[in-house]
């Protein structure tokens, strides 16, 4: 009887791993489509504004890889998020990974300042810092999730980070929609859906037709 009871949790874990593996397969086209749709829609933004964002991403990656890993900055951001959602217990555990808190705070500050000050230079500076903070969030969220033990074939990591990445791209696209008239969130969503639909249709045709 004890042996049967000890087997049930293992079977449940295996079943959950199989389910997550299936979901991961379906997530991959959405990761590709959301990234491609975001890049394509970003081309509607003037280069003088989108280039600082790209340089922000590159600057963080160079700093992270060759100079210093700002883990404490990321951890402080997690504490801010946890404190913000401490009254919503279901969100306390996931919010620090899902929400790029520094980018959100900076976005709110910029929206407030832009009511009184209209400056292209300020917007370029903001876009650079958003590139930095957004990349910081993704890189360290991936690192923390990847470091967790007892993750066979990194299934939990791929499952969790896949969702986090897609949600963050959606949030970033929503922010760009507020900042730039040329950037359309609906167009981004539609393009992402159409690309994913094309991938799934091609796979179905190859496998079953």
What is residue 127's predicted lDDT score, i.e. its pLDDT? 97
Q: Can you give the three-state secondary structure of the chain, one letter per residue?
A: CHHHHHHHHHHHHHHHHHHHHHHHHHHHHHHHHHHHHHHHHHCCCCHHHHHHHHHHHHHHHHHHHHCCCCHHHHHHHHHHHHHHCCCCHHHHCCHHHHCCHHHHHHHHHHHHHHHHCCCHHHHHHHHHHHHHHHHHHHHHHHHHHHCCCCCHHHHHHHHHHHHHHHHHHHHHHHHHHHHCCCCCHHHHHHHHHHHHHHHHHHHHHHHHC
Task: Give the pLDDT band of residue 8 (cuts 50, 70, 90).
Answer: low
Structure tokens at 65: 């890889």
Over the stretch 161-206, which tens digit does the pLDDT of each residue have? 999 999 999 999 999 999 999 999 999 999 999 999 999 888 888 7
Task: Give the other-Cβ count within 10 Å of 179's Cβ.
Answer: 18
Question: What Å distances lie between residue 126 and 23, 67, 68, 109, 123, CA to CA?
Answer: 36, 23, 22, 10, 5
pLDDT number for residue 165? 95
C-alpha closest to that of 134 among 181, 108, 102, 89: 102
Q: What is the pTM of this model?
A: 0.86
Quick check: 12 pLDDT over 60?
A: yes
Q: Rounded to a whole number, what is the distance in angstroms from the first to the last CA of the chain?
A: 48
- CB of 24 closer than 8 Å to CB of 159: yes
* pLDDT beyond 80 at 36: yes
Mean pLDDT of 17-45: 89
Q: Which range (6-15, 34-43, 130-139, 161-170) has the least confidence?
A: 6-15
Q: What angle do CA 97, 102, 104 make, to 5 degrees?
A: 90
């Amino acid at each position: 009887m004890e042996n049967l009871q000890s087997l049930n949790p293992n079977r449940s874990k295996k079943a959950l791993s199989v389910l997550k593996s299936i979901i991961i397969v379906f997530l991959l086209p959405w990761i590709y489509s959301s990234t491609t749709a975001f890049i394509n829609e970003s081309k509607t933004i003037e280069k003088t504004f989108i280039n600082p964002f790209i340089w922000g991403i590159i600057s963080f990656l160079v700093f992270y890889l060759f100079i210093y890993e700002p883990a404490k900055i990321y951890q402080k951001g997690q504490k801010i998020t946890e404190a913000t959602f401490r009254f919503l217990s279901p969100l306390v555990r996931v919010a620090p990974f899902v929400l790029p808190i520094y980018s959100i705070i900076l976005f709110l500050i910029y929206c407030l300042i832009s009511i009184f000050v209209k400056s292209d230079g300020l917007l370029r500076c903001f876009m650079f810092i958003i590139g930095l903070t957004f990349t910081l969030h993704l890189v360290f969220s991936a690192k923390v999730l990847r470091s967790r033990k007892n993750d066979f074939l990194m299934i939990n990591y791929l499952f969790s980070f896949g969702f986090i990445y897609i949600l963050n791209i959606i949030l970033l696209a929503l922010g760009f929609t507020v900042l730039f008239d040329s950037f359309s969130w609906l167009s981004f969503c539609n393009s992402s859906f159409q690309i994913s639909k094309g991938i799934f249709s091609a796979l179905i045709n190859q496998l079953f037709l």
